Structure 1
């Protein structure tokens, strides 16, 4: 139903009682397969460098603003620099089985007045990619944003040419919203940016799907998934 103002102009849905959302506190978030810890160079940098050393090449850094890094000293300096910021607000992903960091991700472009925040700087090592922990890390941050902080909109943006990132966004339940042309310059090249979002109205259904997918019952004896996220959403 369209809302009209006294001039008979269509306007957005009223939000009586809306107040600015809180800034995200930089606190740990715990799950079954992983936990998120505030990124700390002294605690995480060397182990992250080791985790990324398992990669066959440097392709994980292609669409990142920085990297790859020639040695552990350069990587330590990078982790120290990004860990000191509060937007982006960086987290280390800790594998619950090994208690070691295996990747990072961040909340960024945090806009409390509008209840909007973006997840970004997702950098997962081969030890985290394609594991239940990688999905749970995303779920923990989404749940924190929607349920603990009460935000209305959760965004995902990436280079429009980054096919794996676009596929991941859609697998996680983000809806594609379009391409912003020539939105960014990084590493000496132009970037068209693909935009995706989840809004608070989407969250209850997505939460149920994530919880069903992450259940131990959804994995066989070899760790293979019995049902995909997409199949569960369709069901």
Structure 2
């Protein structure tokens, strides 16, 4: 890797003379083929509660900082707290056919001056077409609409499904922050992943190809896996 040098002969980073702080994300609706993202609202409470309680226990919440709300009233209070938050900024993933909310995504650790944001996700909708499209819709909003430079994914280093999901979605592994967090009375070493704006055009094309009707069979399933369209080794495995 080559670097510029300053007047003292010291290596310095790439010049960004035209960079300006980017806008904060807003409570927009993002429409896709299989789902849409809507700002989290009271109307999503019942269907989200039902979606999270399809699982017989709360093992999907092991690596989430809070426990699964076990009553509808508690879940309503939880959603009310999400509505009041600007960072994280929460969106419901709504099925385009049934119009039921099936999960949530959030933008968090939002840094307009650096053009960086992190995605947070809920345990529902794992390994579904709608879940993947929802991730794409939020990536597209961050990179194409807001003009951010960096998009992050972080998880407990012991959360193997989350780490695998990050790689499948095109994030690159950056390393482990040791003893980064204390939650639920235990230590968390945090695994960091990211994608950046220079990678986004190729990643965006891969998502579009995967979501294309040409890649859908008669039952509505993708003919090829997402990684078949990913542009280079290291962007997806």
User: Among 148, 155, 174, which residue is 1:151 paired with?
Assistant: 148
SS in 1 for 2:151: strand
Could you tell me how far apart the structure 1 residues matched to 2:89 and 2:154 are?
16
Could you tell me how far apart the structure 1 residues matched to 2:123 and 2:65 are?
15
Could you tell me how far apart the structure 2 residues matched to 1:181 and 1:167 are?
19
TM-score by length of 2: 0.94
After TM superposition, give the deviation of residue 133 of structure 1 in Å: 0.8
Deviation string 1:85-118 (CA, Å, 9 cap, x unpaired) is: 0000000000101101000010000000000100
Aligned residues of 1:102 and 1:124 also touching (Cα < 8 A):
no
The gaps in structure 2 that reach 5 residues or longer are 233-237
Could you tell me how far apart the structure 2 residues matched to 1:31 and 1:70 are?
31
Segments ≥4 residues shifted beyond 4 Å:
none
Residue 208 (1) aligns with residue 209 (2): no
Could you tell me how far apart the structure 2 residues matched to 1:158 and 1:234 are?
24
Give the 5 Å matches for 1:31-50. Answer: 31-40=32-41, 42-50=42-50
Residue 219 (1) aligns with residue 220 (2): no
After TM superposition, give the deviation of residue 223 of structure 1 in Å: 2.8
After TM superposition, give the deviation of residue 194 of structure 1 in Å: 0.2
The gaps in structure 1 that reach 5 residues or longer are none
Aligned residues of 2:206 and 2:231 also touching (Cα < 8 A):
no
After TM superposition, give the deviation of residue 234 of structure 1 in Å: 5.0
Residue 25 of structure 1 corresponds to: 26
SS in 2 for 1:233: coil
After TM superposition, give the deviation of residue 83 of structure 1 in Å: 1.8
Give the 5 Å matches for 1:1-235. Answer: 1-40=2-41, 42-120=42-120, 122-125=121-124, 128-234=125-231
> Size of the alignment, in residue pairs?
231
Deviation string 1:36-56 (CA, Å, 9 cap, x unpaired) is: 00001x211121101112113
